[in-house]
Amino acid sequence: MMVLTSLVLAAALAGAADDSPAPDCSLVPGWTQKGEPRTFEPDTLFDYMNGNAEGYHAYGFVLMQGVTCANDAGDQLVIDVSELGDTDRAWGIFTANRDIRSPNEAIGAAGQVLPRRATFARGRYYVEIAASPAGDHTEALRAFTAALEAQTPGRATPPEGVGWFPAEGLEAGSVRLVPASVLGIRALRSGFLAQYPEGRAFVVAEESPEAASATLEQVRQRFGTTADAVGIGDVAFTATDDYLGGLVLFRKGAYVAGVSNLAEGVDGTALARRLADTLP
């Protein structure tokens, strides 16, 4: 059985490698490959990234292919293309690693080009380019980003979950994907999180209304005292937690959602109701 499992995994990784858009220094004139290309699978990524590998595994890491490019001026670009578990997770790892001080750009589903670093997500892929030495490498980074984005397959728009949050009061650029334990609650396995003046809003999509009901009940049991809330989704309640502050949680169809980190005296039911109305 172990041999069969290993063969299946090897075949899956081989297929991923065939489909993955491998980086190539010749995509931009004036650059040549330096050293051998890199390939890392789930059990070897730690050899390349050390402690940072866990962050990639959290988003369903499948495969990384990389290459180092150099030009005659002595500049160097380290390019890595990672395949993640799905399109949402590729976008999610981009949002987790992006520079929050800089705006996103319309590169794939989302991207950024900074003086020494460029990143973007498209389809199941997350592309990173790091430039050295110190200085402004924007021109080269944009050239490689454009070439790599053109050869990367898959969806070039943000996840559907980004549109689940009402626009009123939404902090720009705050929507992100939490790959596990939303709000630090294990029952909320994976979902989207956004910031509002009142607090944090979240949405977790379950497979069915029945599964969502079971999840909401499991979460409700985590809190000592709760109170039913009327007119929010299909069923809702409020609670208070030492770490999460005030909460309003609800189920609507197959979604479990709500608002957390409400300061004392802040009523989050209006935001929770707007969130419920925005959900499909």
Q: What pLDDT, in 10s, does the model give residues 97-113?
A: 999 999 999 999 999 99
Q: Which of 131, 55, 153, 142 is nearest to 106 (CA)?
A: 142
Residue 93 main-chain phi, psi, to 5 deg: -70, -30
Q: What average pLDDT does this structure show over 232-249?
A: 97
Residues 152, 121, 8: CA angle, nearest 5 degrees: 70
| Average pLDDT along the chain | 93
Residue 253 CB coordination number (10 Å): 15
Please state, in angstroms and rounded to a whole number, the distance separating the CA atoms of residues 137 and 135: 6
Q: Encode pLDDT of 154-166 as tens digits.
A: 999 999 999 999 9
Residue 271 CB coordination number (10 Å): 24
Q: What is the dihedral of CA 219, 221, 227, 228, to 10 degrees?
A: 60
SS3 content of the chain, % helix, strand, coil (to 5): 30, 30, 40
pLDDT recorded at residue 19: 66
Q: Alpha helix (H) ranges present in 191-236? A: 209-220
21 — pLDDT class (breaks 50, 70, 90): confident
